[in-house]
């Protein structure tokens, strides 16, 4: 009987120790998201851009990027080019998800904050002065 109780206690302890790992896989950003051209262009309207930038971004620029997130990182697919990034950190607070990852193209750590609203999220394009919108497709 003591052996059975000990086995039950050890099993319960192991389940409790593994519970945070199981919950760590449940994050709001997990899933497949695609750039939404219509909503992004609506955000772009109020930005102060050059005519050249406005023409470039308005001509089928947005709506092609697909991001596949897990709670540990993401894969980006843009016009056949696939890149995978691992999160250095990821935190959620209310409707915001903040991630940090190393970007080899820029050769630096990137910190990005997504604001989730319904089935979409927006992320600031600081250098352009407006937010790109992504909507969940899976």
- DSSP assignment letter at 72: S
For the chain, the structural domain boundaries read 28-136
Would you report the helix, strand and coil content of the chain in percent, each value rounded to 5? 30, 45, 30
CATH of 28-136, one of 2.40.128, 2.60.40, 3.40.50, 2.10.260: 2.40.128
10-residue mean pLDDT series, the chain (138 residues): 36 35 69 97 94 93 96 96 97 96 95 96 95 96
pLDDT score, position 138: 86
Query: pLDDT at position 72, please?
Result: 97
């Amino acid at each position: 009987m003591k052996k059975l109780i000990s086995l039950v206690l050890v099993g319960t302890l192991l389940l409790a120790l593994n519970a945070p790992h199981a919950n760590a896989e449940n994050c709001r950003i997990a899933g497949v998201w695609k750039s939404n051209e219509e909503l992004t262009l609506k955000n772009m309207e109020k930005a102060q851009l050059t005519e050249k930038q406005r023409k470039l971004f308005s001509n089928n620029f947005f709506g092609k990027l697909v991001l596949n997130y897990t709670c540990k990182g993401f894969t980006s697919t843009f016009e056949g080019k696939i890149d995978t990034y691992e999160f250095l950190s990821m935190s959620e607070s209310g409707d915001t998800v903040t991630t940090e990852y190393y970007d080899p193209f820029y050769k630096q750590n990137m910190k990005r904050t997504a604001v989730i609203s319904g089935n979409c999220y927006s992320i600031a394009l600081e250098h352009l002065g407006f937010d790109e919108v992504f909507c969940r497709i899976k």
